[in-house]
Structure 1
Amino acid sequence: MTIVSGRCLVARVSGEMDYQSTPWFRARFKELIARGGRFLVLDLAEVSFCDSAGLNELLGARRQADAIGAVLVLACVPAPLRRTLQMTGADHVLRVFDTVADAQAVFGG
């Protein structure tokens, strides 16, 4: 589900982000970025699992957003995924907020 809130486009991501689901997520992220929002927030609260393929999709979505001058951030990242981001150093590339409201406050949501 995607909603527009202020200047932010918020997308709720759910389910498992793994090698089997990455084609689906890749297509959804591409659609989201193509909508042309300047600030994109991925709400990951309902992501139950994320392996290296899922992490790669998140990084790829950020690169796609960067390419069009958009800012893509993560919010509500589950603890296991947050640890993965920290262990891999991806938390230095992907900006993470505790809540969607925190991200919106920074970007004028």
Structure 2
Amino acid sequence: MTVEPSVSASTSESCRIVQVSGDMDYANAPFFRHRLAQEATQSQLFVVLDLSAVPFCDSAGLNALLWAWRQAENAGTVLVLACVPPKLQRMLAMTQVDTLLRAYSTTAAAEAKLTATREA
């Protein structure tokens, strides 16, 4: 069963938490590219992409993540990943994208690290 692609966001004291759902593939890449870029350029200093509900990601989905990261960088925002599924973790490592996009085991861990970075 295919999950409809969706992006929803909430804001905490220090971060914008963006929940990403659905296959990040060729068919859905334009949707994700647009929505993630929107979320990455909000007025928050930190954005955490929660990828726990992403069952599949291909090269087009990876490109959407990189596009969002680039847009965030241009806007002065720090974008990180959280709850990255194992298959996507392997793809990030194989392509060395994990050197650009930091990943954390949970959104709480990402938020804590980003908050500590800001306070330092």
Q: Please classify the TM superposition score into its range, dividing by the shorter chain length.
A: over 0.9
Task: State the percentage of identical aligned residues.
Answer: 49
Q: Which has the higher strand share?
A: 1
- Whose relative contact order is higher, 1 or 2, with alpha carbons under 8 Å and at least 6 apart? 1
TM-score by structure 2 length?
0.87
Larger radius of gyration: 2
Unpaired stretches in structure 2, ≥5 consecutive residues:
1-7
Q: Which residue of 2 aligns with 1:86?
A: 93
Q: Which residue of 2 aligns with 1:76?
A: 83
Alpha carbon RMSD of aligned pairs, Å? 1.2
- 25, 28, 43: which is aligned to 1:18? 25
Runs of 4+ residues deviating >6 angstroms: none
Are 1:37 and 2:37 an aligned pair? Answer: no
Unpaired stretches in structure 1, ≥5 consecutive residues:
none
- 46, 69, 72: which is aligned to 1:65? 72
Number of equivalenced pairs: 109
TM-score by structure 1 length?
0.95
Distance in structure 2 (CA, Å) of the matches to 1:86 and 1:10 = 23
Are 1:49 and 2:56 an aligned pair? Answer: yes
In the TM superposition, residue 30 of structure 1 has moved relative to its aligned partner by: 2.1
